[in-house]
């Protein structure tokens, strides 16, 4: 009935159980708790041999990830003779031996070899609690050769000392018949050295030359006043590549800059110049500021098409793509250039190859996955009204829409 109380007592809650004390097991390496890394997909069983002896990895097995073989860092470093330490505050593995230091920071694509930054194909990372590092990078930067073989689902990696080529035994040199002394070919005159100049008060002057020392005429030079906004003194180089700007008698400093414009294959190319000594100058003391045009190179973006790939082929890695560039005529600087063979990889803003002298090239491509015969690719110019593919293609550089840099753009794909 509403408002009445039951005479049956409510059941008592069971007492909370008291957990038995346990002693935590300390971790061998004080690694931090990283962002979770997904476990890699199933790959081949990997055996690693160092100087003919197989290395065992009891804590974590080698894996293939993003086209690179990753192994536990401590075991690899110690096998190669390194002293090993883990810098917990920086999440960094460090190996040192005999004047060599290799540093790998977790999830960073830049490693350090004796304090010099080196770009990685795959970074060091923590997978299932183990710190894994790229085997080939560590071994090759330690002076060893690395070979990779794959048969079925088993891959074998061998790390060995570099092969020493035997020196051939010299055969006795026969006494040659006397030959007439050849007439020496005339040596072309080198570009004349610019005259040595001294600084003058309220004057800035100098020469503008290309990387071979040839004078550049008609180059625009400016002195930018650091005190007053948008206050510049302008000038142009003469036939000897010389310029001279008179500065107003103001208590200020100036920064120098320039722009070189040239025509190549009926196109106009503009290059920003900075002085060889890129430092502000005081007007009252004046200065000599010479310029050297060196930024005559660009980069090539490469866009792979994955049509035609199937399970019988290895996983595609951009670093296994070999690009061959053969100059078609002289380069933008006037030189004949030479054939360039480079592997693609990360470049600023994408993937491809960089530091390519600007010119017109014929390009071909091969895919060279580790442990597999090279595979010829088809290639074409990207971002044009009609994109086509062939065994080779000719292309020019063009200016980026977003900067003053020059670039080429190519598509690659498997042959149908």
Statement: residue 258 has pLDDT above 90: yes
| pLDDT of res. 28 | 52
> 190 or 52: whose pLDDT is higher?
52
Q: Look at residue 93 in the predicted model and tell me its pLDDT.
A: 92
Q: Answer whether residue 416 shows pLDDT above 60.
A: yes
Confidence band for 259, pLDDT divided at 50, 70 and 90: very high
What pLDDT digit, counting tens, does each position of 65-88 carry? Answer: 877 889 999 999 999 999 999 998
Q: Higher pLDDT residue, 374 or 181? A: 374
Which range is least confidently modeled, 46-50, 123-127, 309-313?
Answer: 309-313
Please, what are the domains in the chain?
45-160 (3.30.457.10), 203-292 (2.60.40), 297-414 (no CATH)
Model confidence at 310, pLDDT cuts 50, 70, 90, reads confident
Among the residue ranges 161-175, 198-212, 262-276, 396-410, the one predicted with the least confidence is 161-175
- What pLDDT does residue 186 have? 56
Mean pLDDT across the chain, nearest whole number?
84
| pLDDT range class, residue 99, cuts 50, 70, 90 | confident
pLDDT score of 6? 42
pLDDT class of 180 with cuts at 50, 70, 90: low
Across 341-362, average pLDDT: 93
With CA atoms as reference, report the closest residue to 67 among 135, 141, 130.
135
Task: Give 290's pLDDT tier (boundaries 50, 70, 90).
Answer: very high
Inform me whether the pLDDT recorded for 399 exceeds 80.
yes
Residue 7 has pLDDT above 60, yes or no: no
**Which pLDDT does position 184 carry in this prediction?**
62
18 vs 123: which has the higher pLDDT: 123
Q: What is the mean pLDDT of residues 304-326?
A: 88
**pTM for this one?**
0.52
The proportion of the chain whose per-residue pLDDT surpasses 70, expressed as a percent, equals 81
pLDDT of residue 190: 58
pLDDT of residue 363: 97
Read off the pLDDT of each residue in 27-45 and give the average, rounded to a whole number: 53
pLDDT band at 234 (very low <50, low <70, confident <90, very high): very high
Q: What is the pLDDT of residue 22?
A: 47
């Amino acid at each position: 009935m509403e408002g009445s109380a039951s005479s049956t007592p409510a059941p008592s809650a069971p007492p909370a159980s008291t957990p038995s004390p346990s002693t935590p097991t300390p971790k061998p390496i004080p690694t931090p708790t990283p962002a979770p890394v997904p476990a890699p997909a199933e790959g081949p069983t990997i055996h690693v041999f160092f100087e003919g002896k197989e290395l065992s990895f009891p804590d974590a097995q080698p894996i293939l990830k993003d086209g690179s073989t990753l192994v536990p860092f401590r075991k690899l470093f110690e096998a190669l003779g390194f002293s090993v330490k883990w810098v917990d505050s920086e999440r960094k593995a460090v190996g040192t031996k005999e004047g060599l230091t290799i540093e790998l920071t977790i999830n960073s694509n830049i490693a350090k070899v004796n304090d010099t930054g080196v770009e990685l194909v795959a970074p060091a990372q923590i997978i299932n609690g183990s710190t894994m590092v790229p085997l080939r990078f560590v071994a090759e930067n330690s002076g060893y050769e690395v070979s990779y073989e794959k048969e079925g689902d088993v891959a074998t990696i061998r790390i060995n000392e570099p092969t020493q080529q035997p020196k051939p035994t010299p055969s006795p040199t026969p006494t040659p018949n006397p030959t007439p002394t050849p007439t020496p070919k005339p040596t072309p005159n080198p570009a004349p050295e610019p005259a040595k100049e001294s600084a003058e008060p309220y004057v800035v002057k100098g020469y503008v030359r290309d990387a071979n020392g040839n004078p550049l005429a008609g180059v625009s030079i400016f002195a930018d006043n650091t005190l007053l906004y948008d206050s510049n003194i302008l000038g142009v180089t003469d036939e000897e590549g010389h310029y001279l700007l008179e500065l107003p008698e103001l208590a200020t400093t100036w920064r120098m800059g320039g722009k070189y414009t040239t025509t190549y294959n009926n196109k106009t190319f503009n290059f920003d110049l900075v002085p060889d000594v890129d430092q502000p100058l005081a007007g009252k003391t004046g200065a000599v500021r010479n310029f050297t045009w060196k930024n005559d190179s660009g980069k090539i973006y490469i866009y792979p098409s994955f049509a035609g790939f199937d399970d019988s082929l290895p996983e595609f890695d951009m670093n296994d793509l070999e690009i061959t560039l053969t100059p078609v005529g002289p380069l933008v600087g006037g030189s004949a250039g030479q054939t360039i063979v480079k592997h693609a990889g990360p470049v600023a803003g994408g993937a491809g190859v960089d530091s390519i002298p600007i010119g017109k090239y014929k390009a071909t491509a091969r895919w060279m996955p580790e442990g597999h015969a090279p595979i010829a690719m088809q290639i074409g110019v990207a971002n044009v009204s009609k994109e086509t593919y062939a065994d080779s293609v000719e292309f020019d550089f063009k200016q980026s829409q977003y900067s003053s840099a020059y670039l080429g753009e190519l598509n690659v794909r498997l042959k149908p």
